[in-house]
Structure 1
Amino acid sequence: MEPIKTIKRKRPFLSKTRTGCLTCKVRKVKCDEEKPACRRCTSTGRKCDGYAPVSKSASTTPPSRHSSPGKGPSTDLFATNAERRSFSYFETRACHDLGGSFHWQFWAREILQAAVHYPSTRHLVVAIGAAYEGYQGKAGEGSASSQDALRLSFEQSNQSIQLMGALFAAASTERQSTETTCNILASSVLFAYLACLQGQVGQAIKHVRSGLKVLQSFEKTKLIEDPTSAFPVSISHLRSLLTSIYGQIRCMINDEARATWEHDPIVSLIAPVLSYATIAEAHNYVESLWHNLLAFLQYTELHPPTTSDEIARFTAQHHLLSQALESSQQALELLASRRSPSHDDQDEPGFNILRLYHTLITIRLRVNPLDPGNREAAFDSLEQELAQMLQYCELIVNSQQSKTGPSFSSGLGYVMPLHTIAARCRNPRIRRRALQLLMSSGRREGLWDALLTGKIVTTTMEREERLASLQTIPSDARIREVKIEFLDERKARIRYITVADWRARLYGEQHILEW
Structure 2
Amino acid sequence: MVALLRILSALPRFLGPDALEMASQSSASACDSRSSSAGSAAVGLALVRTVSRGNKRIPEMSSQMATFSLGDRSRGKRTFTAKVKSGCITCKRRHVKCDETRPFCLKCTKSPRGPGVCEGYPSEQKRANHCAPIVPKGTRRPLAALIEPGYETSLFTGPERGYFEFWLRLIGSIYLFPNDIMHRVVPQLARQEPAIKHAALAMAGMARALVPSLVYRSDKELHSNGPHYEFALQHYGRAMKLLRSSQPTSENMLWAIICCVLFITFECLHGDRTAALSHVNHAYKMMEAYFRRRSLVEEGPVTESIRAVCDDAAWVFQGLTMQAWSHNVLHPDNLLEISWCCRGSKRAFAVDEMPPIFTDIHTARRWWRVVQHHTCHRCPIYTEVYVDGFSEDMLAGAYERPALLPTHLETMAAVAPEFLNHLRKWSNAFQALYNDLQLQQHLSEAEYQLYVNACNLRLQYLLLWSHVSSLSFTDTRTVIILTPSFREIVQLSRIVLKAQANCRGCSDTFSMDNGPTWALLVTSCRCRDTKVRQEATGLLGKFNRRDGVWDSRMFHALAKRYEKIETENLLSEDEDEKESPLRRRELRFSRDGNMSGTHFEWDPLNSQWLRIREVF
Whether TM-score is above 0.5 comes out as: yes
Matching residue of 1:459: 561
- Describe how 1:108-507 pairs up with structure 2 within 5 A: 108-137=183-212, 146-167=225-246, 170-171=247-248, 173=249, 177=250, 179-223=251-295, 227-229=301-303, 230=305, 234-253=309-328, 259=333, 267=342, 268-271=349-352, 272-298=354-380, 304=408, 315-333=417-435, 341=444, 343-367=446-470, 369=471, 374-403=474-503, 404-469=506-571, 474-484=578-588, 486-496=589-599
Which runs of 5 or more structure 1 residues have no equivalent in the other structure? 1-15, 31-45, 54-70, 501-505
Count of residues in correspondence between the two structures: 445
The amino acid of 1:478's aligned partner reads L
Structure 2 CA distance, aligned partners of 1:157 and 1:488? 19
Cα distance, 1:306–1:108 mapped onto 2, change above 3 Å = closer
Task: Check 1:277–1:151 CA distance in 2 against 1; reply closer, same or farther (3 A cut).
Answer: farther
| Secondary structure in 2 matching 1:490 | coil
Structure 2 match to 1:59: none
Q: Closer, same or farther in 2 for the Cα pair 1:232/1:154, shift >3 Å?
A: farther
Structure 1 residues 298 and 194 mapped into 2: Cα distance closer, same or farther (>3 Å)?
A: same
- Residue deviations 1:373-413, cap 9 Å, x none? 95245312221221111011111122234445112112221
CA contact (8 A) 1:360 1:389 kept: yes
Pairs within 5 Å for 1:14-33: 28=100
Q: Give the Cα separation in 2 of the matches to 1:336 and 1:395.
A: 12
Which residue of structure 2 aligns with residue 78 of structure 1? Answer: 156
Q: Deviations over 1:49-105 (max 9, x none)?
A: 33469xxxxxxxxxxxxxxxxx985122113x322211111112x1023335x5252
Question: 1:429 deviation in Å?
Answer: 2.1
- Of 266-275 and 106-115, deviating more is 266-275
- TM-score between the two structures when normalised by the length of structure 1: 0.73
In 1, the alpha carbon distance for the partners of 2:285 and 2:214 equals 37
Partner SS for 1:223: helix
Contact 1:421-1:434 within 8 A present in 2 as well: yes
In 2, are the aligned partners of 1:193 and 1:204 still within 8 Å (CA)?
yes
1:215–1:239 contact (8 Å) kept in structure 2 = yes
Give how far 1:145 is off. Answer: 7.8
Counterpart CA distance in 2 for 1:460 and 1:139 is 23
Give ranges in structure 2 of 5+ residues lacking alignment: 1-82, 93-97, 103-120, 129-148, 343-348, 383-403, 604-608
Give how far 1:469 is off: 3.6
Q: CA deviation at 1:353?
A: 0.5
Larger RCO, structure (CA 8 Å, separation 6 or more): 1
In structure 1, distance between residues paired with 2:595 and 2:166: 31
SS where residue 49 of structure 1 aligns?
coil
Separation in 1, partners of 2:86, 2:584: 68
| RMSD, aligned CA | 4.3
Structure 2 CA distance for partners of 1:244 and 1:306, relative to 1, 3 Å: closer
What is the alpha-carbon distance in structure 2 between the residues aligned to residue 143 and residue 449 of structure 1?
Answer: 18
1:210-265 deviations in Å (ceiling 9; x for gaps): 1111111222222277552455961111111122223311111269x875999966
Going from structure 1 to structure 2, the CA distance change for 1:321 and 1:399 (only over 3 Å counts) comes to closer
Question: Does structure 2 conserve the Cα–Cα contact (< 8 Å) formed by 1:276 and 1:282?
Answer: yes
CA distance in 1, matches of 2:474, 2:279: 37
Contact 1:21–1:49 at 8 Å: present in 2 too?
A: no
Amino acid at match of 1:428: T
Distance 1:359 1:316, change over 3 A: closer
- d(CA) in 1 for partners of 2:562, 2:150: 48
- Aligned-pair identity in percent equals 16
8 Å CA contact retained: 2:487, 2:532: yes
SS at match of 1:147: coil
What residue identity is the alignment partner of 1:154?
Answer: L
The CA deviation string for residues 24-48 of structure 1, in whole angstroms up to 9 with x for no partner, is x999269xxxxxxxxxxxxxxx996
**Distance in 2 separating the partners of 1:96 and 1:132:** 13
Deviation at 1:496, TM superposition (A): 4.0
Q: 1:111 to 1:475 in 2, by over 3 A?
A: same
Query: Which deviates more, 404-413 or 139-148?
Result: 139-148
What is the Cα deviation at residue 112 of structure 1? 1.1
Distance (Å, rounded) in 2 between the aligned partners of 1:97 and 1:458: 30
| Displacement of 1:425 | 1.2
Quote the residue 1:99 is aligned against. 175
Residue 28 of structure 1 aligns to a residue in which SS? coil
Report what 2:42 is aligned to: none
Contact 2:524 2:533 in 1 (8 A): yes
| Structure 2 residue aligned with 1:13 | none
Q: Would the alpha carbon gap of residues 456 and 306 (structure 1) be closer, same or farther in structure 2, given more than 3 Å must change? A: closer
Provide the residue aligned with 2:52 in structure 1: none
SS in 2 for 1:466: helix
Whole-Å Cα distance in 2 between the matches of residues 112 and 240 of structure 1? Answer: 18
Q: Flag the structure with larger Rg.
A: 2
Q: 1:220/1:266 Cα in 2 relative to 1: closer, same or farther (>3 Å)?
A: closer
Q: Which residue of 1 aligns with 2:164?
A: 87
For 1:498 and 1:330, the matched residues in 2 are separated by 46
Q: In structure 2, what is the Cα distance between the partners aligned to 1:121 and 1:507?
A: 52
- CA distance in 2 between counterparts of 1:350 and 1:358 reads 12
Distance 2:493 2:296 in 1: 40
- Secondary structure of 2:212 counterpart: coil
Please tell me whether the aligned partners of residues 245 and 447 of structure 1 are also in contact (alpha carbons under 8 angstroms).
no
**Compared with structure 1, are the counterparts of its residues 152 and 27 closer, same or farther at alpha carbon in structure 2 (3 Å cutoff)?**
farther
Contact 2:163 2:201 (8 Å CA) reproduced = yes
2:224 and 2:307 map into 1 onto residues whose CA distance is: 33
- Whichever residue aligns with residue 367 of structure 2, its letter is Y
Residue 317 of structure 1 deviates from its aligned partner by 4.4
Letter in 2 for 1:456: L
Q: Distance in 1 between matches of 2:444 and 2:579?
A: 48
Decide whether the 8 Å contact of 1:442 with 1:451 is kept in 2: yes
TM-score, normalised relative to structure 2: 0.62
Structure-2 separation of matches of 1:210 and 1:278: 33
Q: Per-residue deviation at 1:510?
A: 3.5
